[in-house]
Every structure is written in C-alpha cells, then in structure tokens.
Amino acid sequence: MTRRIMHIDLDAFFVSVEQAENPELKGEPVVVGGRPDRRGVVASASYEARAFGLRAGMPLVTASRLCPQAIFIEGNFSKYRAASQKFMAILADFSPYLEPVSLDEAYLDATGFESIHGSIHQMAENIKQRIGSELGLCASMGIAGSKVVAKIASELSKPDGLLEVAAGEERFFLAPLPIARLPGVGKKTERILNGLGINTTGKLSTVPLATLKSHLGVFGELLHRYASGIDDREVGPPTAARSISRETTFAEDTKNRRLLEATLRYLSERLGADLRQRGKQAGCVTIKLRYADFITITRRHTLSQAADSDQTIFDTGLRLLNKELSGEKRLVRLIGIGVSNLVEAGRQLAMLDSSAQRLEQLNRAIDRIRNKYGFSAIQTGRTLLLKDIFPQSDEGYTLHTPSLSR
Ligand code: TTP
Ligand code: MG
C-alpha cells in the first residue's frame, strides 16, 4: 500500500487563538510577543502583519517601526497549550498514528484511510473543518508519500491551504523548489550548495552523493535523499531525540571569556555523556548565545564525521564561540551547546584514525568512573574555574538555570 502522510500546521497559531477569542482582532495586523516598547521578539504575526514584513523572531521594536498600526499582544502560553491539546485530540480522532511535532504541528499517517472518508483529500477537508468549527482556527495541510514532502507541501499551501502530492509525483513536485525549502538547509548550507552551482532541489538530487558528502558530511547524505523525496521516517510517538542540548543563563550577564569557555566545556561534558549513554553520535554541533539585549543567535558546524567525544563537541563549540565573540561588545546572558543529526554509534573503528580511537577510549573510561562515583569524580582543568562560582555535589555543578531540551 502506498504511504499517505499528512503534515498539519496551524496558521499564525498564537495570533489565531487570540483572534478566536476576540473577533475584533480578525483581519488586523496582530503580533503576539509583547508590547513594542519591551525587549523581546515577535512570536507570531498575523498574515496581515506579515504583509508589512513582520516575521517571527524579529525584535518587537523593529516590528512596530515597520507596522506602527499593528496590535501588540503579550500572549498567554497556558492558553496556547490548552488550544494545542484540543487540536491534537481532534487529530487523534482521525488516526491513531499521530506524531505531534510542536504545539501547532503534527504528522498523521493516513495510509489506508481512503475507504473511511472517500479519499485522503476528503479526510483532510474533514480535519480542517473540525479544527475550524471547534477551535475557530485554520490549519494548512500537506499530503504526500513521505514526511519531508508532506511538510514542504503544507508550508507551500499556507495560509488555509491543502496541497496533495500524488504518489510518484514527489520528485517533480520538489524539483523546481529552492534548496532552502528542504529541512535543515540554513544560510550556510545554502551558500555552500550555491557555490557548487546548486540552487534547486532538482539539481541537488542529481549531484553525486560523494560530492555532497565531501562538502556537508553526514548531512549531505540525508539532503540527497530528501531532495529525491525519499524519507522512510515513520509517523509515530516521538521516541528518540532528534537533538540534545544543554544551556544555562548566567546569574549576571558576563563577557569573561574564561568563564564562558569553562561553562561551555562543562555543558559539553554533560552533553557528551548523555549522547554516549543513548548510544548516539552527532553529525552537527550548535552553540547558542543570548546577549544582554536578548538577541539570541545560534551557530552551527557540520562535522566531517559523526562524533560523540566531549573533546570534539567542545572544540567545535569553542571555535564557533571564538568566531562569534571576536569583536563582540555585548555581555552574554545565556550560553548553550547542542548536537543534532544524530546517528547510531556504529562501531566503525576501522574508519577512525588512531587519535580518534584514543579519544573514544578516554571518554569511555571517564563515563565508567563517573557512572560509578558521580560526575564530579573527574574534573577537567578548564571546568575547575566553575568551582568558585557554582555549588557542587557528586552529581556535578548546580547551574543557575539548567535547562534540558530534546
Ligand atoms: P509556527 O507554526 O512556526 O508559526 P505560526 O503558527 O505563528 O505561523 P504559520 O505556521 O502560519 O507560519 O509556530 C507556531 C507557534 O510557535 C507560533 O504561533 C508562536 C510560536 N513561536 C514562537 O514563540 N517563536 C518562534 O520563533 C516561532 C517560529 C514560533
Ligand atoms: Mg503554525
């Protein structure tokens, strides 16, 4: 049976919840995120506001400059969470194969459901209808044979869209699209690919795999498959993490490089231990910084070979940090490090050079000791600086705001 995967994403979610509650806001440029005189960014903008160039992540001051007549709303997260739960409950009525991705986004496996609704297209219409009548919200939906194509279809259909890509048509559908449409292709990957003369997804799918791997590492392989519409990921409860990260906010904003590095090192060790515990290796390392002005940046680097050692994670993070902070005057409020593009940690020792082998042995030895005697049983030179700053137990340092995310 050919797979039929739906991707559903609510339009201007936070804003739409406000509009459903207060119909006077309908048809107006509305922003949820805070008052324009406050520090902070746009969380959600109505499509009327987007016509003025407003986007999620834009500082509120910029938003109010571009669109002074916009209505700015603080927002209320528990309200959106409640709406999200109702949204997911409606979807669960249609198929047990449901995978929530975020508050307003989910995949649904509808394979074989034609007979119940007449067609998959009709099933999608029915879902949209219920979301509209019961929640007063508008959903955009994509239907295709794989997750990656279904998601791109729903994005292209926005707002209030429904776009079905017929089985076997995936390649033709993707071919004319710019590569930035593919998941994970940010500015940097786009630049690299453009540099190779690759601008469209169609072109990307015809480039030899080895070329992509040499420029993008493990991510290149994944992109190559996506570009051809190949994506075997199942729809299901999200079991395995797709990324892991550790971050912390400092009690006081800082530009002390030794403190920043020591904290990054410590977070890298916590992250590395978690990664190895899960039996995974990472293809990509990301750092995150929030400056005192609340502007948050992430910088990422794709590894030439998937890795799981503290040293590789930290060294990569440190290079990104040094590059980001050179010439930077602002104080840092939050620092974080994450890994993504996770793959099973295969035992590919033959492929590793001897220094990588030594690192792997070293990390395993450290993990064994820490599992037995606690995280603080081994401390690396760089993190010792933290001793004077954070309270410590066998389990490690107690950071000001420890935060774990998927
Ligand atoms: P999105 O689905 O990305 O955005 P949206 O629903 O507002 O608009 P659309 O899907 O029509 O393009 O995110 C869902 C909600 O998540 C969004 O309403 C607010 C929240 N969000 C943030 O808080 N910060 C962000 O940077 C983004 C992108 C979303
Ligand atoms: Mg949305």
Q: Determine the pLDDT at residue 373.
A: 82
Q: What is the CA(340)–ligand 2 centre distance, in A?
A: 23
Ligand 2 (single-atom ion) residues, CB below 5 Å: 9-10, 13, 104
Q: What is the DSSP string of 18-54?
A: HHHH-GGGTTS-EEES--TTSS-B-SEE-HHHHTTT-
The residue whose CB lies within 8 Å of the most ligand 1 atoms, and thus the one to mutate among 78, 104, 155, is 104
Residue 349: per-residue pLDDT = 47
User: What is the predicted pLDDT for the residue at 400?
Assistant: 62
What are the beta bridge partners of residue 344?
A: 280
- Residue 256 tokens read as 């002390």
Calpha distance 48→238 (Å, rounded):
34
Nearest-atom index, ligand 1, CA of 105:
2
Nearest CA to ligand 1 atom 5: 12
Cα distances from 9 to residues 59, 79, 88, 108, in angstroms, run: 24, 18, 11, 11
CA of 78 to the centre of ligand 2 (A): 17
Those residues of the chain that have pLDDT short of 70 are 39, 238-240, 346-353, 400-406
Residues 6+ apart with CB under 8 A from 381: none
Q: Is 18 a catalytic residue?
A: no
Give the per-residue pLDDT at 405.
40
List all residues whose CB is within 6 A of at least one atom of ligand 1.
9-14, 43-44, 56-57, 103-105, 158-159
* Tokens 């927002």 sit on residue: 75
Q: Identify the bridge partners of residue 144 per DSSP, sorted by sequence position.
A: 5
45 neighbors 57 (Cβ within 8 angstroms): no
Give me the pLDDT at residue 385, please. 82
In angstroms, rounded to a whole number, what is the distance separating the alpha carbons of residues 60 and 41? 5
Given this model, what pLDDT does residue 277 score?
A: 84
**Pairing between β-strand 71-73 and β-strand 30-32 as defined by DSSP bridges:** parallel
Closest C-alpha to ligand 1, atom 22: 43
